[in-house]
Structures are given as structure tokens and as C-alpha cells.
Amino acid sequence: MAQIELRRIEKRYGAVAVVQPMDLLIPDGELTVFVGPSGCGKSTTLRMIAGLEDVSSGQMLIGGRDVTRLEPKDRNIAMVFQNYALYPHKTVFENLAFGLRLRNLDKAQIDRRVKWAAEMLGMEALLERKPRQLSGGQMQRVALGRALVREPDVFLLDEPLSNLDAKLRLRMRDEIARLHRELKTNMIYVTHDQVEAMTLGDRIVVMKDGRIQQVGTPLEVYDRPVNRFVAGFIGAPEMNLVDARIDGGSVVANGLRLPVNSSIRDGTAVTLGVRPEHITLGEAAHSLPMRAVQIEQMGAYTLAAFEHEGLRLRAMLGRDQQVVFGETRHLQLDLQQLHLFDHATGACLSRTNPDGASDV
């Protein structure tokens, strides 16, 4: 195990900064997920940690050792890519053993490590097969096994499940989580899929435009987003975000008026955020009549979109709450679960917590 420390790490291509100066500490044994849209710099950051990309400035430490200028082979890391990159003419055993032979390990060590990795991943029956005889999930297991046999200080995984179908992705996600629990080795996982990030990570690093937006546990990032981007990116279905303003101690938007316990001055333009699961049906104080314009039956729940005078909200409803397309229903927003973001900068200005108090 090895703590990873990034100190003002930056990556530039000429005048273009792909990764802005970044500080990050990843403790021993953590599974850290870098998540963000395409082009946000997450894979570039991973490749700098691996040594596949040069660092433009800053310092990188693994296990207290400065590896900023070291070659990849000298960092004791293992990387799993989206492309399995298996040798098609070699058996599974030979694919797993190839890197060990390059390091001049003796036959007994190679056999021990390959057998151990095969047992960990349930591949004992596949060792004599070649890649063309494997399914996508089996090939992904071989790629993971090739990383395992190296017994590295750090595992780096760059969108390793992108080529798999939805059911197989779920199974392999469970497999990676199990491996991490058993190995207790640092893993850094890169994905654009926020569901993978939420379900896998001990901590999530949310990135945008080469900058870290927020670092925290999945629930910290979900419940307490630091800005509008994080609020909209993390969560499935995503948070409702509505242009609004503060007026007389209330947040006002298109016929919606909700009291907020906040020191934000009147007239301030804000973005109101509320998650779909915090919207319920029912006529009560501060509820708003809205027309159902879209209904998605998700099995365990119903996702319904409602509109009123240009305002659109999505609500996550129980499957027993029947909604008919085109009908008008009263929607009630949970006043203890509201987020207010600065309309210009996107920064979080205020949020209510389960006690009804306001913070930030």
C-alpha cells in the first residue's frame, strides 16, 4: 500500500492547460474515483500518475517517494485500460505471465502469482484459452489479472468497463469492489459514469475543465454539492435546477414561492436545486399545480416530469402513485432539502438540512 500525493500537478500542451494546478492526497488503501465529462482531464491525470504523460509542473509522491520524473516501470503501479490489449496469439496463462517474465522472475514465482490471480478472479478454467475464445467479461478479467500478478503499490483503472453491456458492467463493478476489499491496495478508477462513481468509490473526485470541483465521499458529494455543476452532474436522475430570485425571505420562480431561512439579500439571482426524490404529490402550503408532460415507468419507481408557466420539474414517485399524462397535480417540494446556487458563478450559497436550518 502507498499513499499518493499530488502537489500542484499541472499538464499543459503549449498554452493550453489540460489539467490546472491540482492538490490531492489519496490515503493508503482507498478506492478513489475520478469522474467528470469527456475532456475534463481525469484520464490525463491518471496517465500522469502512471508516468505515461509528463508532468508540466508540480510534484508527485507515491509512498513518500518522489516519482515525478520516474519511468512507468520504476513506479510499481499497474494500469488497466478500456482496451484489454491482450496478446491474441498467447493463452490466458501466457498473457498473465508475460510481464513477470520481462522482470526476470523465476518459474515458481510466476506460477504462484498467476495461480493466485486466476483463483481471485475465478479464471482457473480459462488459463489455456486464447483471447478469441473468451467473452468480453472474461477478457476484462484477464486484463485485471495481468495487473494483479504484478502485486503493485497502486492500481490505475481507466474506464475499464466501457466496452461491456449493462448487466456485465454491474457484475464486473462488484468484482472490482470485492478485489479492493480483499487486497486493500490503493485503486484509482476513472469514469464518466457517475453511477459507477457513486457505487464504487470510497471518495469521489469530481472534475470539470481540468479542475477539481469537489472531493468527498459519495454521500457528501450527493448531499452537499459545492456548486451547480456538481449538483447537476452527480445523481441519477439529476437534480432539478431552476432559475429563481430571492424576494422577501422566499425563493421565487415562475409561480413557485418557497420560504428559505437564508441571509441572501433580496433581488439576488439564484439557481434553486432540488432532487427528484424530494418532490412529492399533495396539495398543501407552498405546493404548486403542474401538468404531467412525461411519465417514465422505471419498475421500482415512476419518474414524472411536470410543467407550469415555463417551470419544469421531475419527481421520483412511488409506483403506487398513479399519474396520467396531461393531468394537473399539486407538487410539494421538501423545504428541508433545498439548495441555492449563485446564478453567475454557480457556487453554493445556501442549503437546508434535515433540521430545516440553512448552512453555507
| Domain map (residue ranges) of the chain | 4-225, 229-359
**From start to end of 282-327, where are the E strands?**
288-297, 301-308, 311-318
Tell me the pLDDT tens digit for each residue of 310-326.
Answer: 899 999 999 888 899 99
For the domain 229-359, what is the CATH code? 2.40.50.140
The CATH class given to the 4-225 domain equals alpha beta
CA distances from 38 to 19, 43, 191, 217, 338 (A): 13, 9, 9, 22, 29
Do β-strands 211-216 and 203-208 pair in parallel, antiparallel, or remain unpaired? antiparallel
pLDDT surpasses 80 at 175? yes
Indicate the pLDDT class of residue 357, thresholds 50, 70 and 90. low
C-alpha cell of 168? Answer: 456485465
Q: How much of the chain exceeds pLDDT 70, in percent?
A: 98
| Among candidate residues 64, 66, 57, the one with its CA nearest the CA of residue 3 | 64
Rounded to a whole number, what is the distance in angstroms from the first to the last CA of the chain? 36
Q: What are phi and psi of 191, to 5 degrees?
A: -155, 155
Same fold, 4-225 and 229-359: no
CA nearest neighbour of 201 among 34, 37, 42, 31: 31
pTM value is: 0.90
Distance from the Cα of residue 347 to its chain's centroid: 20
pLDDT class for 356, splitting at 50, 70, 90? very low
- Which positions ≥6 away from 246 have C-beta within 8 Å? 252, 260, 262, 264, 265, 266, 267, 268, 270
